[in-house]
Copies of this chain bind each other. A is one copy, B any other.
């Protein structure tokens, strides 16, 4: 470690997660740290203080670490002044400008810490001598309070379109002190529950590739993949590709319901799902009977496996499960028609069957089903990996609410997800 610097954290740094983040940043960026002092507040009202020496292989790396640390409230124990540079033109910031957080911020100027006024995120900080402040301030609609001393220096945020040529803009990361608000337990109140959420605004193709990689790696380690699938997988057109994944050996177990299996078999028998043609999206006449016919025919055959052996069922997810010896559990529900002879109608028995699958699984892929996802989730240890895919963010939220906090999720259309996943898996495995 050729470069070191001492930084300090203080405040409610444990409760607020500040300390945890600080340690993480140093490690993530390849640095090291030596804790010099660590005074932990022992009561709610006491703050903690941590002083540590941070080291890195070179100055550049150290600067990066210090930058991230200070964004998170860790400040240099022995700071230097902030640097400023004039804006090259109206509405243009100098290279390396400092972009604000929305936390209270101070900058060090001529050895003094001065607060940044009107803190707001994603702004530049402009330093103004009192003699020049009157000119510029109007451009952002500010009325400068009277009574500032002659030589007084002020720092304040400016949005990009308020920047004027020559404004002294703070650059780099030194001489700046950020103080995220403490969050002592008591003040969090009843609203502590809202911490983030599940966003659909992620690059979908990149995410699908990550799931494909996880699937391929799990199989490469000889571990077991359990797919939990809802009827929407079939309705949305993902049946062929899920069948492909079963056939290609990426699925070791299937957990679903009577509806999923019936729609899948109906699609094979009639090309429809709940009566809708999967190609033309029309509802052929008498299509509404296909659902009941399907169940009736499978009952007549004596179950799904005999129906495959008899040549009644010749394609689809259930077909591939039978042909490839992939065990399946079909759990009954009060919404079911029929049900199929394979469906376990007793909830306690069905839970036992689900439990046995859950114990075997190393990676669980939950596809568009709240009921079955929660049921399987209930039986999983927290060490089993779970990926939950649904177009409805509420499904994922509920899964987490019910204790499966290790689940990771993706909000997307199951009808585009399954085809893309199957393609990505085949490709990743080659």
The smallest C-beta distance from A185 to any residue of chain B, in angstroms, reads: 6
CA A118 – CA B23 in complex, angstroms?
A: 35
Any B CB within 8 A of the CB of A44: yes
- A selection of 17 A-B contacts at a CB cut-off of 8 Å is A28-B44, A91-B296, A124-B292, A159-B351, A191-B210, A194-B407, A195-B195, A195-B400, A197-B393, A201-B232, A202-B281, A202-B415, A333-B347, A339-B347, A345-B347, A391-B411, A416-B420
Chain A residues near B (Cβ < 8 Å): 14-15, 17, 19-20, 23-24, 27-29, 32-33, 35, 38, 40-44, 64, 67-68, 88-89, 91-93, 97, 99, 101-104, 118-122, 124, 140-141, 159-161, 180-181, 185, 189-208, 210, 214, 232, 235-237, 273, 278-281, 285-286, 288-289, 291-293, 295-296, 299-300, 331-339, 345-348, 350-356, 358-359, 371-372, 374-375, 378-383, 387, 391-394, 396-398, 400-401, 403-404, 406-417, 419-420
The smallest C-beta distance from A106 to any residue of chain B, in angstroms, reads: 13
Chain B residues within 8 Å of A29, by CB: 285
Chain B residues within 8 Å of A410, by CB: 191
Chain B residues within 8 Å of A17, by CB: 17, 20
- CB-based closest 3 A-B pairs: A204-B415, A191-B408, A203-B237
The smallest C-beta distance from A136 to any residue of chain B, in angstroms, reads: 14
**Contact A382:B199 (CB < 8 A) given known A38-B38, A412-B416:** no
Is the CB–CB distance between B185 and A27 below 8 Å? yes
The smallest C-beta distance from A204 to any residue of chain B, in angstroms, reads: 3
Contacts A205-B415, A413-B417 known; 11 new A-B pairs at CB < 8 A: A27-B44, A33-B40, A104-B381, A200-B236, A201-B401, A202-B237, A206-B281, A336-B351, A345-B347, A345-B348, A413-B413
Is the CB–CB distance between B391 and A141 below 8 Å? no
The smallest C-beta distance from A137 to any residue of chain B, in angstroms, reads: 12
Is the CB–CB distance between A400 and B196 below 8 Å? yes
CA A95 – CA B102 in complex, angstroms?
A: 50
